[in-house]
Amino acid sequence: MKRLFDIVFSLLGLIIISPVFIILSLIIVLDSRGGVFFRGVRIGQHGKDFRIFKFRSMVKDAEGKGKWNVGENDNRITRFGHFLRKSKLDELPQLINVLIGDMSFVGPRPELRYYVNMYTNREKKIIEMKPGITDWASVAHFKQFVSFTQSTDPDKEYVERIRPLKLELQLYYYEHKNFRMDIRIIAFTVLKMIFRNLELPKDIQEVITQFNLKR
């Protein structure tokens, strides 16, 4: 059921938003050199590498180089890239990853191997699942770039503050995942993109509260 949903709606989505793809692609090419897509290596289901599709929002070959996480003031971001990242439009090409089977609409966000290598035995359950475009951790950290911008060390901010809760929410999804929850996450993500101040569902907020009490 989940795979059929992914195939049908990713294909439908790509067809419907193809004019947007073309317009964004042209702007990206005119804005800076380096091509349309960013194709960074991420870890997929069962720990296998795959290349993610994103609209390029940074200068060519910008990922890494001692800085994995990006704040709004990072000089690697292109002029148009600021808009792409704030609007989340840079994520649209991941529909291609969903269509070919590297990703699903819902699942833990695909991670760099650098961070996957830090997983505890309990956290390794996360890579048993296919990574997704959205999950509870994504909507909980919807304005993640803001904390990166405010931090003097975005990588430290990610490891010490963002990543621990992200993993907890991904493990919660692992324990409770079903098709009904996937639809719920998709619906909430769409609403969150429209109403940026939308509060998290009570059950997810409770997971966050209990996590914070344990720290």
pLDDT tens by residue, 34-82: 999 999 999 999 999 999 999 999 888 777 655 666 667 778 899 999 9
Q: What is the mean pLDDT of the chain?
A: 91
- Asked if 112 contacts 43 with a C-beta cutoff of 8 angstroms, the reply is yes
Please tell me the chain's helix, strand, coil percentages from 3-state DSSP, rounded to the nearest 5. 60, 10, 30
Mean pLDDT of 180-186: 96
In this prediction, residue 141 carries a pLDDT of 83
Burial of 82 (0-12, 13-18, 19+ CB in 10 A): middle
In this prediction, residue 196 carries a pLDDT of 82
Q: Minimum mean pLDDT among 73-77, 117-121, 138-142, 143-147: which range?
A: 143-147
Distance, CA of 209 to CA of 194 (rounded, Å): 25
Task: State the residue range of the domain holding 142.
Answer: 2-214
Indicate the pLDDT class of residue 214, thresholds 50, 70 and 90.
confident
The domain total for the chain is 1
Q: Minimum mean pLDDT among 20-29, 63-72, 147-156: which range?
A: 63-72
Residue 103 has pLDDT above 70, yes or no: yes
Mean pLDDT of 100-112: 97
pTM of the model: 0.90
Distance, CA of 109 to CA of 124 (rounded, Å): 14
In this prediction, residue 208 carries a pLDDT of 92
Instruction: Answer with the residue of higher pLDDT: 106 or 154.
Output: 106
Q: What angle do CA 182, 109, 97 make, to 5 degrees?
A: 85
In this prediction, residue 72 carries a pLDDT of 75
Q: What angle do CA 136, 122, 169 make, to 5 degrees?
A: 10
Residue 151 has pLDDT above 70, yes or no: no
Residue 150 has pLDDT above 70, yes or no: no
